[in-house]
Structure 1
Amino acid sequence: MIKIAICDDEPNIRHYLAALIQKQRVSHETEVAEYASLREYLSRGAGTDLLFLDIEMPQELDGFREAESEHTVQSLPRNGMELARRIRDTDAFLQPLIIFVTGYEKYVYDAFDVDAFQYLLKPVDEQRFSEVFARAVERILAKQSRQPDTRSLLIQSAHRNKTVPLDSIYYIESRNHKVILHLKEGLFSYYARIGELEDELTDQFFRIHKGYLINLSYVDSYSRTEVELTNGERLLISRYKYADFVKAYLRFVKGRLADE
Protein backbone atom coordinates (compact mmCIF):
# COMPACT_ATOMS: atom_id res chain seq x y z
CA MET A 1 0.00 0.00 0.00
CA ILE A 2 1.27 3.46 -0.95
CA LYS A 3 -0.46 6.25 0.97
CA ILE A 4 -0.61 9.53 -0.92
CA ALA A 5 -1.71 12.91 0.42
CA ILE A 6 -2.63 16.01 -1.57
CA CYS A 7 -2.52 19.20 0.52
CA ASP A 8 -3.75 22.25 -1.37
CA ASP A 9 -6.36 24.89 -0.56
CA GLU A 10 -7.66 24.91 -4.14
CA PRO A 11 -10.27 22.14 -4.71
CA ASN A 12 -9.74 22.08 -8.48
CA ILE A 13 -6.00 21.43 -8.02
CA ARG A 14 -6.62 18.66 -5.50
CA HIS A 15 -9.15 16.95 -7.77
CA TYR A 16 -6.89 17.32 -10.82
CA LEU A 17 -3.90 15.75 -9.05
CA ALA A 18 -6.07 12.94 -7.70
CA ALA A 19 -7.32 12.27 -11.24
CA LEU A 20 -3.75 12.20 -12.56
CA ILE A 21 -2.77 9.70 -9.88
CA GLN A 22 -5.63 7.42 -10.86
CA LYS A 23 -4.34 7.39 -14.44
CA GLN A 24 -0.91 6.10 -13.48
CA ARG A 25 0.02 2.46 -13.78
CA VAL A 26 1.20 1.30 -10.36
CA SER A 27 1.86 -2.30 -9.38
CA HIS A 28 0.90 -1.63 -5.75
CA GLU A 29 -2.41 -0.45 -4.33
CA THR A 30 -2.61 3.29 -3.67
CA GLU A 31 -4.70 5.28 -1.21
CA VAL A 32 -5.25 8.98 -1.93
CA ALA A 33 -6.40 11.51 0.68
CA GLU A 34 -7.10 15.19 0.02
CA TYR A 35 -6.49 17.94 2.59
CA ALA A 36 -7.72 21.51 2.16
CA SER A 37 -5.50 23.05 4.85
CA LEU A 38 -2.23 22.59 6.71
CA ARG A 39 -4.17 22.06 9.91
CA GLU A 40 -6.17 19.25 8.33
CA TYR A 41 -3.04 17.47 7.11
CA LEU A 42 -1.34 17.79 10.51
CA SER A 43 -4.33 16.26 12.28
CA ARG A 44 -5.06 13.43 9.83
CA GLY A 45 -2.08 12.86 7.55
CA ALA A 46 -0.08 10.41 9.66
CA GLY A 47 1.54 7.56 7.77
CA THR A 48 1.75 9.31 4.40
CA ASP A 49 4.30 7.92 1.93
CA LEU A 50 4.02 10.67 -0.69
CA LEU A 51 2.89 14.24 -0.07
CA PHE A 52 1.90 16.65 -2.85
CA LEU A 53 2.15 19.99 -1.06
CA ASP A 54 1.21 23.51 -2.09
CA ILE A 55 3.61 26.13 -0.69
CA GLU A 56 1.53 29.27 -0.37
CA MET A 57 -1.31 28.02 1.80
CA PRO A 58 -2.80 30.33 4.43
CA GLN A 59 -3.35 29.30 8.03
CA GLU A 60 -6.92 28.19 8.60
CA LEU A 61 -8.29 28.50 12.11
CA ASP A 62 -11.93 27.65 11.42
CA GLY A 63 -13.12 24.93 13.77
CA PHE A 64 -10.92 25.94 16.70
CA ARG A 65 -12.50 27.35 19.83
CA GLU A 66 -11.76 30.99 20.55
CA ALA A 67 -9.72 30.07 23.64
CA GLU A 68 -7.42 28.00 21.50
CA SER A 69 -6.90 30.50 18.70
CA GLU A 70 -3.83 32.26 20.08
CA HIS A 71 -1.99 29.02 20.71
CA THR A 72 -3.07 27.71 17.31
CA VAL A 73 -1.62 30.74 15.53
CA GLN A 74 1.71 30.07 17.19
CA SER A 75 1.76 26.31 16.62
CA LEU A 76 0.44 25.99 13.07
CA PRO A 77 2.93 26.35 10.20
CA ARG A 78 2.47 29.56 8.23
CA ASN A 79 2.76 27.90 4.80
CA GLY A 80 3.61 24.67 3.05
CA MET A 81 7.36 25.28 3.22
CA GLU A 82 7.21 25.66 6.98
CA LEU A 83 5.16 22.49 7.22
CA ALA A 84 7.84 20.65 5.23
CA ARG A 85 10.53 21.94 7.60
CA ARG A 86 8.51 20.76 10.58
CA ILE A 87 8.12 17.30 9.05
CA ARG A 88 11.86 17.09 8.40
CA ASP A 89 12.63 18.15 11.98
CA THR A 90 10.71 15.24 13.49
CA ASP A 91 12.31 11.99 14.57
CA ALA A 92 9.67 10.06 12.65
CA PHE A 93 10.48 6.50 11.71
CA LEU A 94 9.10 7.20 8.25
CA GLN A 95 8.88 10.58 6.55
CA PRO A 96 6.98 11.20 3.32
CA LEU A 97 8.52 12.07 0.00
CA ILE A 98 7.49 15.66 -0.63
CA ILE A 99 6.61 16.99 -4.07
CA PHE A 100 5.87 20.70 -4.04
CA VAL A 101 3.10 21.85 -6.37
CA THR A 102 3.10 25.62 -6.73
CA GLY A 103 2.67 28.48 -9.15
CA TYR A 104 5.89 30.22 -8.08
CA GLU A 105 9.39 29.35 -9.29
CA LYS A 106 11.01 31.47 -6.58
CA TYR A 107 10.71 28.62 -4.06
CA VAL A 108 12.73 26.10 -6.04
CA TYR A 109 15.93 26.54 -4.00
CA ASP A 110 14.05 26.46 -0.70
CA ALA A 111 12.65 23.10 -1.78
CA PHE A 112 16.15 21.62 -1.74
CA ASP A 113 16.60 22.79 1.86
CA VAL A 114 13.79 20.52 3.04
CA ASP A 115 14.91 17.58 0.90
CA ALA A 116 11.92 17.82 -1.43
CA PHE A 117 11.81 15.03 -3.99
CA GLN A 118 10.58 17.25 -6.83
CA TYR A 119 8.97 20.58 -7.66
CA LEU A 120 5.98 20.82 -10.03
CA LEU A 121 4.79 24.16 -11.39
CA LYS A 122 1.13 24.98 -11.88
CA PRO A 123 -0.53 24.37 -14.22
CA VAL A 124 0.83 20.85 -13.85
CA ASP A 125 1.88 19.20 -17.10
CA GLU A 126 0.48 15.68 -17.32
CA GLN A 127 3.58 14.16 -18.94
CA ARG A 128 5.87 15.79 -16.39
CA PHE A 129 3.63 14.56 -13.60
CA SER A 130 3.77 10.97 -14.89
CA GLU A 131 7.56 11.02 -14.98
CA VAL A 132 7.91 12.46 -11.48
CA PHE A 133 5.25 10.18 -10.04
CA ALA A 134 6.87 7.05 -11.48
CA ARG A 135 10.22 7.95 -9.94
CA ALA A 136 8.58 8.73 -6.61
CA VAL A 137 6.80 5.37 -6.51
CA GLU A 138 10.05 3.61 -7.36
CA ARG A 139 11.77 5.38 -4.47
CA ILE A 140 8.95 4.56 -2.05
CA LEU A 141 8.87 0.86 -2.94
CA ALA A 142 12.65 0.63 -2.56
CA LYS A 143 12.38 2.30 0.83
CA GLN A 144 9.58 -0.02 1.94
CA SER A 145 11.61 -3.07 0.96
CA ARG A 146 14.39 -1.92 3.31
CA GLN A 147 12.12 -1.26 6.28
CA PRO A 148 12.53 -3.42 9.38
CA ASP A 149 9.64 -5.68 10.35
CA THR A 150 8.70 -3.49 13.30
CA ARG A 151 5.81 -1.26 12.24
CA SER A 152 5.12 2.08 13.80
CA LEU A 153 2.28 4.54 14.23
CA LEU A 154 3.32 8.00 13.07
CA ILE A 155 1.51 10.75 14.96
CA GLN A 156 1.59 14.25 13.49
CA SER A 157 -0.31 17.06 15.18
CA ALA A 158 -0.07 20.80 15.51
CA HIS A 159 1.41 20.42 18.96
CA ARG A 160 3.62 17.33 18.90
CA ASN A 161 5.10 14.71 16.60
CA LYS A 162 5.77 11.20 17.81
CA THR A 163 6.56 7.76 16.42
CA VAL A 164 5.13 4.83 18.39
CA PRO A 165 6.11 1.21 17.62
CA LEU A 166 2.93 -0.86 17.38
CA ASP A 167 4.38 -3.49 19.68
CA SER A 168 4.53 -0.90 22.48
CA ILE A 169 0.74 -0.34 22.39
CA TYR A 170 -1.52 -2.55 24.54
CA TYR A 171 -4.70 -0.88 23.35
CA ILE A 172 -6.15 2.41 22.14
CA GLU A 173 -9.04 4.08 23.92
CA SER A 174 -11.43 6.71 22.55
CA ARG A 175 -12.50 9.43 24.98
CA ASN A 176 -13.77 13.02 24.59
CA HIS A 177 -12.72 13.40 20.92
CA LYS A 178 -9.22 12.13 21.77
CA VAL A 179 -7.53 8.76 21.52
CA ILE A 180 -5.44 7.51 24.42
CA LEU A 181 -2.62 5.11 23.64
CA HIS A 182 -2.08 2.70 26.52
CA LEU A 183 1.64 2.04 26.12
CA LYS A 184 4.16 -0.11 27.94
CA GLU A 185 5.78 3.08 29.22
CA GLY A 186 2.56 4.95 30.09
CA LEU A 187 -0.17 6.94 28.34
CA PHE A 188 -0.15 9.26 25.35
CA SER A 189 -3.21 11.14 24.10
CA TYR A 190 -3.95 13.29 21.08
CA TYR A 191 -6.88 14.40 18.92
CA ALA A 192 -7.81 11.68 16.43
CA ARG A 193 -10.67 9.43 15.38
CA ILE A 194 -10.46 5.84 16.56
CA GLY A 195 -12.26 4.76 13.39
CA GLU A 196 -9.40 6.02 11.24
CA LEU A 197 -6.87 4.16 13.41
CA GLU A 198 -9.01 1.04 13.12
CA ASP A 199 -8.70 1.22 9.32
CA GLU A 200 -4.96 1.93 9.47
CA LEU A 201 -4.08 -0.83 11.96
CA THR A 202 -6.44 -3.54 10.81
CA ASP A 203 -3.74 -6.26 10.50
CA GLN A 204 -2.72 -6.22 14.19
CA PHE A 205 -5.55 -4.47 16.04
CA PHE A 206 -9.26 -5.18 16.49
CA ARG A 207 -12.02 -2.90 17.74
CA ILE A 208 -13.84 -4.92 20.40
CA HIS A 209 -16.00 -1.99 21.52
CA LYS A 210 -16.78 1.50 20.26
CA GLY A 211 -14.23 2.81 22.75
CA TYR A 212 -11.49 0.17 22.54
CA LEU A 213 -9.07 -0.90 19.80
CA ILE A 214 -6.86 -3.66 21.15
CA ASN A 215 -3.51 -5.05 20.05
CA LEU A 216 -4.12 -8.72 19.25
CA SER A 217 -0.51 -9.48 20.22
CA TYR A 218 -1.37 -8.86 23.88
CA VAL A 219 -4.58 -10.86 24.25
CA ASP A 220 -4.15 -13.20 27.22
CA SER A 221 -7.68 -14.63 27.42
CA TYR A 222 -11.23 -13.73 26.51
CA SER A 223 -14.87 -14.53 27.16
CA ARG A 224 -18.11 -13.35 25.64
CA THR A 225 -18.10 -10.25 27.83
CA GLU A 226 -14.46 -9.17 28.18
CA VAL A 227 -10.91 -9.49 26.91
CA GLU A 228 -7.99 -9.73 29.33
CA LEU A 229 -4.66 -8.40 28.10
CA THR A 230 -1.21 -9.57 29.15
CA ASN A 231 -0.77 -6.45 31.29
CA GLY A 232 -3.73 -7.58 33.43
CA GLU A 233 -6.29 -5.06 32.18
CA ARG A 234 -9.76 -6.29 31.33
CA LEU A 235 -11.82 -4.57 28.66
CA LEU A 236 -15.48 -4.97 27.78
CA ILE A 237 -16.25 -6.58 24.46
CA SER A 238 -19.45 -5.72 22.61
CA ARG A 239 -21.71 -8.69 22.04
CA TYR A 240 -22.02 -7.54 18.44
CA LYS A 241 -18.24 -7.74 18.04
CA TYR A 242 -17.57 -11.09 19.73
CA ALA A 243 -17.90 -13.43 16.73
CA ASP A 244 -15.79 -11.22 14.46
CA PHE A 245 -13.23 -10.77 17.22
CA VAL A 246 -12.77 -14.53 17.64
CA LYS A 247 -12.29 -14.94 13.89
CA ALA A 248 -9.81 -12.07 13.72
CA TYR A 249 -7.85 -13.29 16.74
CA LEU A 250 -7.60 -16.88 15.49
CA ARG A 251 -6.55 -15.63 12.06
CA PHE A 252 -3.93 -13.42 13.70
CA VAL A 253 -2.52 -16.26 15.82
CA LYS A 254 -2.46 -18.59 12.81
CA GLY A 255 -0.53 -15.98 10.85
CA ARG A 256 2.00 -15.55 13.64
CA LEU A 257 2.55 -19.31 13.87
CA ALA A 258 3.04 -19.54 10.11
CA ASP A 259 5.75 -16.84 10.30
CA GLU A 260 7.73 -18.70 12.98
Structure 2
Amino acid sequence: MIKIAVCDDEKNVRNYIRELIIDQDIDCEIKEFANSSEYFLNNYEPDILVLDIDMGKDSASGMELADLIRKKSHKQPLIIFITGYPEYVFNAFDVEAFHYLLKPIDEKQFARVMQLAITKVTKISDSDTQSLEIQHDGNRKIVPLKDISYIESQNHKAVLHINNRKIAYYARIGELEEELSDSFCRIHKGYLVNLAYVDEYSKSEVTLTTGEVLLISKYKYKDFVRAHMRFVKKSEPGDF
Protein backbone atom coordinates (compact mmCIF):
# COMPACT_ATOMS: atom_id res chain seq x y z
CA MET A 1 0.00 0.00 0.00
CA ILE A 2 1.29 3.45 -0.96
CA LYS A 3 1.21 6.05 1.81
CA ILE A 4 0.26 9.57 0.68
CA ALA A 5 0.19 12.74 2.79
CA VAL A 6 -1.59 15.96 1.84
CA CYS A 7 -0.44 19.10 3.65
CA ASP A 8 -2.41 22.29 2.95
CA ASP A 9 -3.87 24.91 5.28
CA GLU A 10 -7.19 24.99 3.37
CA LYS A 11 -9.52 22.11 4.24
CA ASN A 12 -11.46 22.39 0.98
CA VAL A 13 -8.21 22.05 -0.98
CA ARG A 14 -7.18 19.01 1.09
CA ASN A 15 -10.55 17.40 0.44
CA TYR A 16 -10.31 18.14 -3.28
CA ILE A 17 -6.82 16.65 -3.54
CA ARG A 18 -7.99 13.59 -1.61
CA GLU A 19 -10.76 13.08 -4.18
CA LEU A 20 -8.30 13.45 -7.06
CA ILE A 21 -6.06 10.80 -5.48
CA ILE A 22 -9.00 8.45 -4.90
CA ASP A 23 -9.90 8.86 -8.58
CA GLN A 24 -6.54 7.23 -9.45
CA ASP A 25 -7.94 3.92 -8.19
CA ILE A 26 -4.78 2.86 -6.37
CA ASP A 27 -4.23 0.93 -3.17
CA CYS A 28 -3.24 3.78 -0.88
CA GLU A 29 -3.59 5.35 2.54
CA ILE A 30 -4.22 9.11 2.59
CA LYS A 31 -3.54 11.34 5.59
CA GLU A 32 -4.23 15.07 5.76
CA PHE A 33 -2.33 17.77 7.64
CA ALA A 34 -3.27 21.44 8.03
CA ASN A 35 0.25 22.79 8.60
CA SER A 36 3.93 21.92 8.90
CA SER A 37 3.88 21.43 12.67
CA GLU A 38 0.98 19.00 12.48
CA TYR A 39 2.83 17.00 9.84
CA PHE A 40 6.04 16.68 11.86
CA LEU A 41 4.37 16.02 15.22
CA ASN A 42 2.48 13.11 13.67
CA ASN A 43 5.74 11.35 12.68
CA TYR A 44 4.03 10.06 9.56
CA GLU A 45 6.37 8.76 6.86
CA PRO A 46 4.60 8.89 3.49
CA ASP A 47 5.86 7.67 0.15
CA ILE A 48 4.37 10.75 -1.54
CA LEU A 49 3.81 14.18 -0.01
CA VAL A 50 1.46 16.62 -1.77
CA LEU A 51 2.50 19.93 -0.26
CA ASP A 52 1.25 23.51 -0.42
CA ILE A 53 3.97 26.17 -0.23
CA ASP A 54 2.11 29.06 1.42
CA MET A 55 0.42 27.80 4.60
CA GLY A 56 -0.19 31.10 6.35
CA LYS A 57 1.95 33.38 8.48
CA ASP A 58 1.50 31.21 11.60
CA SER A 59 3.08 28.14 10.03
CA ALA A 60 6.38 27.25 8.42
CA SER A 61 6.08 27.34 4.65
CA GLY A 62 5.91 24.19 2.58
CA MET A 63 9.38 24.97 1.26
CA GLU A 64 10.73 25.15 4.83
CA LEU A 65 9.00 21.88 5.68
CA ALA A 66 10.47 20.21 2.60
CA ASP A 67 13.95 21.43 3.54
CA LEU A 68 13.52 20.02 7.05
CA ILE A 69 12.35 16.69 5.66
CA ARG A 70 15.38 16.45 3.39
CA LYS A 71 17.72 17.17 6.31
CA LYS A 72 16.13 15.17 9.11
CA SER A 73 13.69 12.49 7.93
CA HIS A 74 14.93 8.93 7.61
CA LYS A 75 12.38 8.13 4.90
CA GLN A 76 12.45 10.56 2.00
CA PRO A 77 9.08 11.03 0.27
CA LEU A 78 8.51 12.20 -3.27
CA ILE A 79 7.36 15.80 -2.87
CA ILE A 80 4.75 17.30 -5.20
CA PHE A 81 4.32 21.03 -4.61
CA ILE A 82 0.93 22.62 -5.27
CA THR A 83 0.84 26.41 -5.15
CA GLY A 84 -0.55 29.54 -6.72
CA TYR A 85 2.91 31.11 -6.96
CA PRO A 86 4.88 30.17 -10.10
CA GLU A 87 7.91 32.16 -8.92
CA TYR A 88 8.69 29.43 -6.36
CA VAL A 89 9.38 26.82 -9.01
CA PHE A 90 13.17 27.31 -8.94
CA ASN A 91 13.27 26.92 -5.14
CA ALA A 92 11.67 23.52 -5.58
CA PHE A 93 14.88 22.22 -7.15
CA ASP A 94 16.75 23.01 -3.93
CA VAL A 95 14.66 20.48 -2.00
CA GLU A 96 14.62 17.91 -4.82
CA ALA A 97 10.90 18.16 -5.47
CA PHE A 98 9.44 15.49 -7.73
CA HIS A 99 7.03 17.91 -9.39
CA TYR A 100 5.42 21.34 -9.13
CA LEU A 101 1.77 22.02 -9.96
CA LEU A 102 0.01 25.38 -10.07
CA LYS A 103 -3.37 26.26 -8.61
CA PRO A 104 -6.05 26.05 -9.82
CA ILE A 105 -5.22 22.39 -10.21
CA ASP A 106 -5.50 20.90 -13.67
CA GLU A 107 -7.05 17.48 -13.00
CA LYS A 108 -5.47 15.78 -16.03
CA GLN A 109 -2.05 17.16 -15.13
CA PHE A 110 -2.50 16.06 -11.52
CA ALA A 111 -3.44 12.54 -12.65
CA ARG A 112 -0.38 12.35 -14.92
CA VAL A 113 2.01 13.52 -12.20
CA MET A 114 0.47 11.21 -9.59
CA GLN A 115 0.85 8.22 -11.90
CA LEU A 116 4.50 9.12 -12.49
CA ALA A 117 5.03 9.36 -8.73
CA ILE A 118 3.30 6.03 -8.11
CA THR A 119 5.46 4.36 -10.76
CA LYS A 120 8.61 5.73 -9.14
CA VAL A 121 7.53 4.74 -5.63
CA THR A 122 6.81 1.22 -6.87
CA LYS A 123 10.29 0.96 -8.39
CA ILE A 124 11.86 2.21 -5.14
CA SER A 125 9.80 -0.31 -3.18
CA ASP A 126 10.98 -3.12 -5.44
CA SER A 127 14.62 -2.14 -4.87
CA ASP A 128 14.00 -1.89 -1.12
CA THR A 129 12.99 -5.55 -1.04
CA GLN A 130 16.43 -6.65 -2.28
CA SER A 131 18.42 -8.45 0.37
CA LEU A 132 21.62 -10.30 1.21
CA GLU A 133 21.43 -13.86 2.50
CA ILE A 134 24.20 -14.67 4.99
CA GLN A 135 25.24 -17.32 7.51
CA HIS A 136 25.71 -15.72 10.92
CA ASP A 137 26.36 -17.61 14.18
CA GLY A 138 25.22 -20.82 12.54
CA ASN A 139 21.94 -19.35 11.37
CA ARG A 140 20.66 -18.24 7.97
CA LYS A 141 19.89 -14.52 8.03
CA ILE A 142 18.26 -12.21 5.48
CA VAL A 143 19.57 -8.62 5.56
CA PRO A 144 17.79 -5.93 3.47
CA LEU A 145 20.34 -4.05 1.34
CA LYS A 146 18.68 -0.74 2.18
CA ASP A 147 19.72 -1.19 5.83
CA ILE A 148 23.44 -1.62 5.06
CA SER A 149 25.37 1.67 4.98
CA TYR A 150 28.67 0.02 4.04
CA ILE A 151 30.54 -3.28 4.13
CA GLU A 152 34.02 -3.54 5.58
CA SER A 153 36.62 -6.24 4.91
CA GLN A 154 38.21 -7.38 8.16
CA ASN A 155 40.21 -10.55 8.94
CA HIS A 156 38.73 -12.57 6.05
CA LYS A 157 35.24 -11.52 7.05
CA ALA A 158 32.71 -9.07 5.65
CA VAL A 159 31.42 -6.70 8.32
CA LEU A 160 27.99 -5.27 7.55
CA HIS A 161 27.40 -1.85 9.11
CA ILE A 162 23.68 -1.64 9.87
CA ASN A 163 22.02 1.11 11.92
CA ASN A 164 24.96 1.58 14.31
CA ARG A 165 25.54 -2.14 14.74
CA LYS A 166 27.76 -4.65 12.98
CA ILE A 167 27.26 -8.15 11.63
CA ALA A 168 30.39 -10.07 10.65
CA TYR A 169 30.39 -13.24 8.59
CA TYR A 170 32.78 -15.10 6.31
CA ALA A 171 32.68 -13.64 2.81
CA ARG A 172 35.01 -12.08 0.26
CA ILE A 173 34.41 -8.39 -0.33
CA GLY A 174 35.40 -8.84 -3.99
CA GLU A 175 32.57 -11.31 -4.53
CA LEU A 176 30.14 -8.98 -2.77
CA GLU A 177 31.31 -6.15 -5.01
CA GLU A 178 30.24 -8.13 -8.08
CA GLU A 179 26.96 -9.26 -6.52
CA LEU A 180 25.94 -5.79 -5.34
CA SER A 181 27.28 -3.70 -8.22
CA ASP A 182 23.97 -1.91 -8.92
CA SER A 183 23.81 -0.02 -5.63
CA PHE A 184 27.18 -0.48 -3.94
CA CYS A 185 30.63 0.77 -4.94
CA ARG A 186 34.14 -0.29 -3.88
CA ILE A 187 35.91 2.88 -2.72
CA HIS A 188 38.88 1.19 -1.05
CA LYS A 189 40.24 -2.33 -0.76
CA GLY A 190 38.50 -2.49 2.60
CA TYR A 191 35.22 -0.66 1.93
CA LEU A 192 32.13 -1.31 -0.17
CA VAL A 193 29.72 1.61 0.17
CA ASN A 194 25.95 1.73 -0.31
CA LEU A 195 25.55 4.66 -2.73
CA ALA A 196 22.20 5.59 -1.18
CA TYR A 197 24.07 6.57 2.00
CA VAL A 198 26.63 8.89 0.36
CA ASP A 199 26.22 12.41 1.73
CA GLU A 200 29.31 14.11 0.30
CA TYR A 201 32.81 13.26 -0.84
CA SER A 202 36.23 14.61 -1.71
CA LYS A 203 39.20 12.98 -3.43
CA SER A 204 40.34 11.52 -0.13
CA GLU A 205 37.19 10.56 1.78
CA VAL A 206 33.48 9.79 1.59
CA THR A 207 31.05 11.04 4.24
CA LEU A 208 27.94 8.95 4.78
CA THR A 209 24.53 10.15 5.91
CA THR A 210 25.21 8.25 9.14
CA GLY A 211 28.06 10.66 9.86
CA GLU A 212 30.77 8.06 9.28
CA VAL A 213 33.78 9.12 7.21
CA LEU A 214 35.61 6.54 5.07
CA LEU A 215 38.87 6.83 3.17
CA ILE A 216 38.67 6.55 -0.60
CA SER A 217 41.55 5.16 -2.63
CA LYS A 218 42.93 7.46 -5.31
CA TYR A 219 42.74 4.47 -7.66
CA LYS A 220 39.03 4.04 -6.96
CA TYR A 221 38.02 7.71 -7.05
CA LYS A 222 37.10 8.02 -10.74
CA ASP A 223 35.11 4.79 -10.74
CA PHE A 224 33.31 5.92 -7.59
CA VAL A 225 32.36 9.30 -9.11
CA ARG A 226 30.97 7.60 -12.22
CA ALA A 227 29.03 5.06 -10.16
CA HIS A 228 27.65 7.77 -7.89
CA MET A 229 26.57 9.91 -10.85
CA ARG A 230 24.77 6.94 -12.43
CA PHE A 231 23.05 6.18 -9.14
CA VAL A 232 21.95 9.80 -8.61
CA LYS A 233 20.67 10.08 -12.18
CA LYS A 234 18.66 6.87 -11.74
CA SER A 235 17.19 8.21 -8.48
CA GLU A 236 16.64 11.83 -9.49
CA PRO A 237 13.18 13.45 -9.25
CA GLY A 238 10.86 13.82 -12.22
CA ASP A 239 10.94 16.65 -14.72
CA PHE A 240 8.74 19.70 -14.09
| TM-score tier after normalising by the smaller chain length | 0.5 to 0.7
**Which of 96, 102, 108 is the equivalent residue of 1:127?**
108
State yes or no: 1:140 paired with 2:138: no
Match of 1:51? 49
SS in 1 for 2:128: coil
Q: Is the 8 A contact 1:5 1:45 kept in 2?
A: no
> CA–CA distance in 1 between the matches of 2:73 and 2:38?
21
Q: Is the 8 A contact 2:52 2:83 kept in 1?
A: yes
Q: Which amino acid aligns with 2:66?
A: A
Query: Which ranges of 4 or more aligned residues in structure 1 deviate by more than 3 Å?
Result: 148-152
Q: Which amino acid aligns with 1:136?
A: A
SS in 2 for 1:115: coil
Match of 2:217? none
> CA–CA distance in 1 between the matches of 2:54 and 2:69?
17
**Which of 69, 79, 86 is the equivalent residue of 1:87?**
69
Deviation for aligned residue 1:47: 1.7
Q: Which amino acid aligns with 1:52?
A: V
The size of the alignment, in residue pairs, is 137
Q: Is the 8 A contact 1:37 1:59 kept in 2?
A: no
Q: Is the 8 A contact 2:35 2:60 kept in 1?
A: no
Match of 2:38? 40
- Compute the TM-score of the two structures, normalised by the length of structure 1: 0.49
Cα 1:48–1:138, aligned 2, differ >3 Å: closer, same or farther?
Answer: same
Structure-to-structure mapping, 1:103-114, within 5 angstroms: 103-114=84-95
Match of 2:14? 14
CA RMSD in angstroms, aligned pairs only:
2.4
> CA–CA distance in 1 between the matches of 2:106 and 2:19?
13
Unmatched tracts of structure 1, length 5 or more: 61-76, 153-166, 169-183, 185-260
Match of 1:115? 96
Structure-to-structure mapping, 1:150-169, within 5 angstroms: 150=144
Q: Is the 8 A contact 1:57 1:79 kept in 2?
A: yes
> CA–CA distance in 2 between the matches of 1:98 and 1:56?
15
Identity %: 44
- Compute the TM-score of the two structures, normalised by the length of structure 2: 0.53
